[in-house]
Structure 1
Amino acid sequence: MIKVAIVGTNGLAQFIANSIATTTSHQFVILSRRPSPGLQARGWQVMQVDYSNASALRFKLAGVDTVISTISGNAQLALIDAAAGAHIRRFVPSEFCGPPSLRPPNDSLDGGRRAAILRLHQLESTGMRFTVFTCGIFYERFAPGGLANSQIGLHSAFGQEGDFLFNFRTGKAQMPFQSTSTQPASICMTSARDVARFIVEALDLSSWPREFRLRGERMNAREVIAVAEQVRGRSFEISGHTQSSLQDSLTYARAIGDRSREARVHSLIATAEGRFDFVSTNLNQLVSFRPEGFREWLVRAWSSEA
């Protein structure tokens, strides 16, 4: 049995907490900037933290084996420093996207992740190791209300309903092609609930690599849209994009000062460049459950909207 600190109270953090509570004997504490009476009412221990108070943060991490972060920016950097100072054994940064190795140096969708990985590398001399859980795109981006409805990516510029690939409600889709071919780009996808289950099952593994790769589905963009069309029972209005047309769209979004539109185009460019795709996994084979398929998830997610 180990003690885990889950940092943040968003939807993914709550999935992780629930999975630990219901499937393991591990202890856990949730670190939150604000009081969380709703989480405490579930019998979960919540400790309020101030990321500007390094000594207090280190104190609250005392006795913790593994830190799982779902926060970003300067708060996560402060958390990393405190975790190293508290001699934490393992740290999971708030990545949960495509392979970090595919992210360009000046990625507009970075969200502070590159700085966090750099800090973790710098602090490995303290004995703290870190592992990234690469899972591709969250299914929840395609849910009613988008990713934000799951309290995930609340500060994301493309976290609302219909911001990525297709809008299920309106039946409109954007299909990027690979930058090196005329074939639709591929993406890996996983539900946030299953990402939490993967992380929790990994807690019992004796060895963690630098990166765990996991997924629910791997499809090309046309296949993803086709599933949505079948579930919706209608053909979508599809706009196909080449690398050149995406760059034109990006130029236009910048010219009119539309930041949200710019972020949506950046997400399509990242898709075209294969940044949400990976061929092989190394965690799916080690867990005892089969992650939910995209079609099954999409039907369930939209059943209440029918």
Structure 2
Amino acid sequence: MIKIAIVGTNGLAQYIANSLATQSSHQFVILSRRPNPGLTAKGWQVLTVDYSNSADLRFKLAGVDTVISTISGTPQLALIDASAAAHVRRFVPSEFGGPPSLRPQNDLLDRSHRAAILRLHQLEPTGMRFTIFTCGILYERFAPGGMAASQIGLHSDIGQEGDYLMDFRRRRAQIPHMSSAGHPVTVCMTSAHDVARFVIAALGLPTWPREFRLRGDRMSVRDIIAIAETIQGRSFETSAYTRSSLQDALTYARAVSDRRREIQNHHLIATAEGRFDFANANLNHLIAIQPERFRDYLVRVWSAAGSRDRRQAPGQ
């Protein structure tokens, strides 16, 4: 049994905490900027931290073996420094997306992730190792209410329903149909619930590589829309973009200072460039977990949403 610190209180952090509580005997604490009575009510220990106070961070990390971060930016950099000073053995940075090796320099979507990985490399002489969990696109992007409904990506400009690739409810899609090389655009995807299950199961492995890759499904963006159309029983209004037309849309968003649209177009360009795709899901082969397939997820969450809508309809 080891002690784990989950850093952050967003939806992914809560999935990880729940998996730890229900699937392991490991002790864990949650580090949060402010008190969280809702999480405390679950019986989870929540420690309030100040990321600008290195001494406070080191104190709260005392005795922790593994840190799992779901925060980014300057707070994560401070967390990395404090973890090394507190002799944390393993650090999981807040990546949980496409392979970092595919991310270009000066990426608008970076949010200091590159700086965090560089800092982790620099601190390896202290004895603290790090591993990235690459999971591709989260299924929750296509759920009712988007990722924000699961308290994920609240400040990402792609957190709301319909912000990325398709709007299931309104049967609309904007897809990068072909890459710049003329190949169908493919992505890997996983539910946040399954990401948490994989992370916790990996704690039992004897060694960790630099990067664990996991996925629930892998398919072309055209197949994503086709599955949605089959579930809906109706065709979607689909706009298929080329790499050049996406760049034109990005240029226009910048010209009119539409930051939200600029970020959304960047995500579509990243998709077209294959930055959410990978062939070898090494963690899938090491752990006996059967992740939920995308089609099953989409049916489940939208069927549940339809049931809620019917229950809440006037006169029922």
TM (norm. structure 1) is 0.98
Q: Which AA in structure 1 matches 2:204?
A: D
1:181, 1:156 → 2: CA distance?
28
Q: How far 1:304 moved relative to its partner? A: 2.7
Identity rate of aligned residues, in percent?
A: 71
Aligned to 1:181: 181
Aligned to 1:162: 162
1:12, 1:139 → 2: CA distance?
12
- CA offsets 1:92-112 (integer angstroms, 9 cap, x no match): 000000000000011111111
Aligned to 2:311: none
Q: How far 1:181 moved relative to its partner? A: 3.2
Q: Which AA in structure 1 matches 2:154?
A: L
Aligned to 2:198: 198
Which stretch has the larger CA shift, 227-236 or 217-226? 227-236
Q: How far 1:84 moved relative to its partner? A: 0.3
- CA offsets 1:255-274 (integer angstroms, 9 cap, x no match): 11111111111011000000
Aligned to 2:124: 124
Aligned to 1:72: 72
- CA offsets 1:244-293 (integer angstroms, 9 cap, x no match): 11111111111111111111110110000000000111100111220000
2:139, 2:94 → 1: CA distance?
17
Aligned to 2:150: 150
Aligned to 1:18: 18
5+ long unaligned stretches in structure 1: none
Q: Which AA in structure 2 matches 1:56?
A: D
Q: How far 1:164 moved relative to its partner? A: 0.8
SS in 2 for 1:283: helix
Q: Which AA in structure 2 matches 1:274?
A: G
Question: Is the CA contact 1:51–1:57 (under 8 Å) kept in the aligned structure 2?
Answer: yes
1:263-274, aligned counterparts within 5 Å?
Answer: 263-274=263-274
TM (norm. structure 2) is 0.95
Question: Is the CA contact 1:134–1:211 (under 8 Å) kept in the aligned structure 2?
Answer: yes
Aligned to 2:93: 93
Question: Is the CA contact 2:180–2:242 (under 8 Å) kept in the aligned structure 1?
Answer: no
Which stretch has the larger CA shift, 84-93 or 112-121? 112-121
Structural RMSD (CA):
0.9
2:153, 2:305 → 1: CA distance?
22
1:250 maps to 2:250: yes
Question: Is the CA contact 1:217–1:294 (under 8 Å) kept in the aligned structure 2?
Answer: yes
Question: Is the CA contact 1:250–1:262 (under 8 Å) kept in the aligned structure 2?
Answer: yes
Aligned to 2:141: 141
2:184, 2:142 → 1: CA distance?
18
SS in 2 for 1:181: coil
1:36, 1:240 → 2: CA distance?
43
5+ long unaligned stretches in structure 2: 307-316
Q: Which AA in structure 2 matches 1:32?
A: S
1:145, 1:305 → 2: CA distance?
10
- Matched residues, number: 306
SS in 2 for 1:189: strand
Question: Is the CA contact 1:28–1:45 (under 8 Å) kept in the aligned structure 2?
Answer: yes
